[in-house]
Amino acid sequence: MNILDNQYNLHIGKQQAKLKVWRYAGLMLTYKCSAACAFCYYCCDPQQEGLMPADVALSAWEGLVRLAGKDARVHLTGGEPFLVFDRLAEITKQAHKAGLTGLEYVETNASWANQAPDIREKLNFLAGHGMEKLKISCDPFHQEFIEIQKVILLKTIAEEILGPERVMVRWQRYLQNPVNFQGLNHSEKQDVYRQALRDDPCRLTGRAAFCLADLLPQRPWTEFLRNPCSQAILGAKGVHIDPYGNVFSGQCSGLVVGNLATQKLDMMWRDFNPLACPPWKQLLTEGPAGLMDEALAQGYTRRPGYASKCHLCTDLRRFFFDKSLFWPIISPKECYHI
């Protein structure tokens, strides 16, 4: 697609920032996860559900290739995609057969890595069907749920099979110095979270907004006035797609551009005009503070402070979600309830 094929780009001035062509898609095979990390953008946990049909995954992949050509990059994630390995295998097998390339990585928390033969079999299968890299999550939030021995076993076997350059551990330093949550009380855990947020600040959306924001310094909402999200929305290099076909812009979980059940991904990019409807318009031009008047009019109780712009955004959006306002852009429930 040409940059001017997009409705927004077509109508704005020559000098203004354009909506980037999406080049990556993170396919979330399920919201179910073996962990329930406090910083999860999508509120994944063992009780969550959803299973992406293989045809939805392939349709997204094909749409991305039509959009981005040889630059298209796909990653398969969750929740925890190895909990639904049969579907993960089906998608990679069908994509491989269809000649779809660009499977940049599969992301995992290593919770399933118990037996060496099983790990070998699964990784050999994925490597044989186009997986370029394995990305293993490793940080204090994951270490609350996942034993470090599993991460080490998976990394060791993955490096044997794929070679070290095709195995990413995010972050390596926590592999060497894992946080031991055994026996920590609530307040000690909060200290660990606080330190982890200082070391690696994260976007406060989803569970991160609901569980971690209060650990950080708070600022009044007026400090977020005239703080547009043009960079996040227009400059997003790609999308995440949930098991139900909801397409989220970039890292903004719970903000739906469209659904693959009704529109192909490339057509969705072509038609996306954030100026055309709320709440995209306010987010693009003013940032989440631009939604405050509407929220107050609907009965929203303002917090004394917010830890970040995304915290403010997520708090407002959860309120709107509960009132069924801005549906289906502000959805699905999996992103708003923990």
- Cβ neighbours around 169 below 10 Å, total: 22
- Cβ neighbours around 186 below 10 Å, total: 6
**Which part of the chain contacts ligand SF4 (CB under 6 A), choosing from 4-12, 78-86, 240-248, 299-307?**
78-86
- Cβ neighbours around 19 below 10 Å, total: 23
**Which part of the chain contacts ligand SF4 (CB under 6 A), choosing from 31-39, 81-89, 128-136, 192-200?**
31-39
Nearest approach, Cβ of 120 to ligand SF4 (angstroms)?
22
Retrieve residue 95's tokens. 């994509």
Ramachandran category for residue 241: left, alpha or beta (phi over 0 → left; psi -120 to 50 → alpha): beta
Total of residues contacting ligand SF4 (CB under 6 A): 22
Count of all residues that appear for the chain in the document: 338
Residue 163 has phi, psi (to 5 degrees) of 90, 145
Question: Rule CB under 6 A: is residue 79 a binding residue for ligand SF4?
Answer: yes
Nearest approach, Cβ of 312 to ligand SF4 (angstroms)?
7
Restricting to residues 100-129, name those near ligand SF4 by CB under 6 A: 109
Residue with tokens 């204090």: 140
Restricting to residues 186-245, name those near ligand SF4 by CB under 6 A: 205, 229, 232
**Which part of the chain contacts ligand SF4 (CB under 6 A), choosing from 19-27, 35-43, 264-272, 295-303?**
35-43
**Which part of the chain contacts ligand SF4 (CB under 6 A), choosing from 30-38, 92-100, 190-198, 258-266?**
30-38
Nearest approach, Cβ of 42 to ligand SF4 (angstroms)?
6
With a CB cutoff of 8 Å and minimum separation 6, the contacts of 34 are 46, 80, 83, 109, 111, 112, 145, 146
Name residue 329's amino acid.
Answer: I
**Which part of the chain contacts ligand SF4 (CB under 6 A), choosing from 73-81, 114-122, 215-223, 298-306?**
73-81
Q: By CB under 6 A, name the one of 283, 292, 329, 335 that touches ligand SF4.
A: 283
Cβ 229 vs Cβ 61: under 8 Å: no
Q: For ligand SF4, which is the closer residue by CB, 162 or 255? A: 255
C-alpha distances out from residue 81 to 31, 78, 201, 238, 258, Å: 9, 5, 25, 20, 23
Nearest approach, Cβ of 225 to ligand SF4 (angstroms)?
13
Nearest approach, Cβ of 99 to ligand SF4 (angstroms)?
30
Kindly provide the residue ranges of all beta strands, DSSP E only, lying in the chain, ordered along the sequence. 24-28, 73-77, 103-108, 133-137, 167-170, 238-241, 246-249, 256-259
- Cβ neighbours around 248 below 10 Å, total: 23
Ramachandran category for residue 326: left, alpha or beta (phi over 0 → left; psi -120 to 50 → alpha): left
Cβ 43 vs Cβ 334: under 8 Å: yes
- Kindly state the DSSP code that residue 25 receives in the 8-state scheme: E
Q: For ligand SF4, which is the closer residue by CB, 45 or 100? A: 45
Restricting to residues 299-338, name those near ligand SF4 by CB under 6 A: 309-310, 313
Q: For ligand SF4, which is the closer residue by CB, 71 or 223? A: 223
Q: By CB under 6 A, name the one of 24, 80, 266, 336 that touches ligand SF4.
A: 80
Residue ranges that bind ligand SF4, judged by CB under 6 A = 33, 35-37, 40, 44, 78-80, 109, 137, 142, 205, 229, 232, 252, 255, 283, 288, 309-310, 313
